[in-house]
């Protein structure tokens, strides 16, 4: 549906739905980060790790911290965005004020890119740890 055809309430409802979806996905990724950290810290790798595998494991641990930091920042940004959405009045027309639409689209693009990168990273970690076990 085109933005010109949607009412303010429909657009706001879509934005709030996306926000809930993003927050749910962030929580899921936080849980996955805890799992990956525990997996990499597991004693199961103690005797089988070669030097290269240890280096790769340490690299994965650093990358997990970077991704966790990004998630924390993004979660804070989503919280502030939620406050903005709750303060929007129905008298404010999103079609005329494209700032809200552009911000939402930017958040969506950044989040989708991060999700794809995170999924690729998670797959690499699981492949690596699966090959060790």
Calculate ∠ Cα 103-107-108, nearest 5°.
115
Mean pLDDT computed over every residue of the chain: 84
| Number of residues assigned to the chain | 133
Terminal CA-to-CA distance of the chain, rounded, Å?
49
Tens of pLDDT, residues 84-117:
888 876 555 555 567 778 889 999 999 999 999 9
**Any idea which of 37-41, 45-49, 59-63, 96-100 has the lowest mean pLDDT?**
45-49
Whether the pTM exceeds 0.95: the reply is: no
Taking residue 74's Cβ as centre, other Cβ atoms within 10 Å add up to 18
Please report which confidence band the pLDDT of residue 46 belongs to, taking 50, 70 and 90 as the band edges. low
Match 């805890």 to its residue by tokens.
Answer: 34
The tokens describing 59, both together, are 């690299």
């Amino acid at each position: 549906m085109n933005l010109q055809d949607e009412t303010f309430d429909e657009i706001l409802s879509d934005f709030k739905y996306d926000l809930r979806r993003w927050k749910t996905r962030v929580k899921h990724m936080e849980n996955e980060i805890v799992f990956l950290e525990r997996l990499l810290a597991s004693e199961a790798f103690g005797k089988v790790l070669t030097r290269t595998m240890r280096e790769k494991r340490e690299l994965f641990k650093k990358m997990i911290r970077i991704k966790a930091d990004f998630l924390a920042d993004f979660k804070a940004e989503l919280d502030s965005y939620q406050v903005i959405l709750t303060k929007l009045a129905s008298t404010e027309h999103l079609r005329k004020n494209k700032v809200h639409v552009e911000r939402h689209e930017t958040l969506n693009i950044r989040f989708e890119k991060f999700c794809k990168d995170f999924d690729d990273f998670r797959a690499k970690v699981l492949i690596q740890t699966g090959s060790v076990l």
